Amino acid sequence: MRQMKLLLIQGANMEYLGKRQPELYGTTTARQLDALIRRRARELGVSVEILYTNIEGEAVSAIYKADRARFDGLLFNPAGFLHAGYALRDCLRSIAMPAIEIHMTNIEKRGFGSITAAAAVGMIAGFGTDSYLLALEAMVARLRSAAV
Ligand SMILES: O=C1C[C@@](O)(C(=O)O)C[C@@H](O)[C@@H]1O
């Protein structure tokens, strides 16, 4: 059986993780988070490609490219795009692969709603870096149960 391929998109400002607003997002750097995600992906036997971008259009193009290449699932933290990411939302509605939205903080508690969440299978928010690992596990479980 071929290995499942996942794409993780880290939206606007996530490259500064570890330095940006540590009182909200902690001190784990983007590179350290990537290592945690890759390790969990290895344990689960899936591959994950990670893209950080501050440009919504770049996220859209990367998602279509992955969908055309038959990636199995998309994990994404829209981050700064959550407020006005209509193009990203349209893209999520157009692809075949399922998408899970991730937030490190509980955005509801912070008084935000996410534009893109309406196009996701589900959303995991509020668990810091664990939000990514939980989303990864949820995606793999979903894809594996759909495959049987
Ligand atoms: O950049 C981010 C990060 C975030 O998506 C989170 O992971 O909690 C929450 C957003 O409100 C914010 O713009």
Q: How much is the pLDDT for 2?
A: 85
Phi and psi at residue 8, in whole multiples of 5°? -115, 125
pLDDT tens by residue, 38-66:
999 999 999 999 999 999 999 999 999 99
Distances (CA, A) of 112 to 22, 34, 59, 79, 118: 19, 26, 21, 11, 14
Q: Is the CB of 123 under 6 A from ligand 1?
A: no
- pTM listed for this prediction: 0.97
Spans of all domains in the chain: 5-147
Three-class secondary structure of residue 8 per DSSP:
strand
Residue whose CA lies nearest to ligand 1 atom number 11: 79
Q: What is the CATH number of domain 5-147?
A: 3.40.50.9100
Atom of ligand 1 nearest to the CA of 103: 7
> Could you list the pLDDT tens digit for every one of the 148 residues in the chain?
789 999 999 999 999 999 999 999 999 999 999 999 999 999 999 999 999 999 999 999 999 999 999 999 999 999 999 999 999 999 999 999 999 999 999 999 999 999 999 999 999 999 999 999 999 999 999 999 987 6
131 lines ligand 1 (CB under 6 A): no
Q: In 3-state terms, what secondary structure has residue 119?
A: helix
